[in-house]
Amino acid sequence: MQLIGLTGGIAAGKTVVADRLAELGAVRIDADRLAREVVEPGTPAL
């Protein structure tokens, strides 16, 4: 198994690369999405 992290500025193509890797069978963990879910109103984190 390999661990690949994608970083970069706004509009750098991170999502394009992540989408392509997912098409090839990679498991994607979207830290931005997880962070938004954690701080949603009504969640235990708040």
Question: Region 34-45: what's the mean pLDDT?
Answer: 88
Mean pLDDT of 5-20: 96
State which of 22-26, 28-32, 35-39 shows the largest mean pLDDT. Answer: 22-26
Res 46 pLDDT > 70? no
Return the pLDDT at 45: 75
18-42 exposure pattern, b = at least 16 Cβ within 10 A, e = fewer = beeeeeeeeeeeeeeeeeeeeeeee
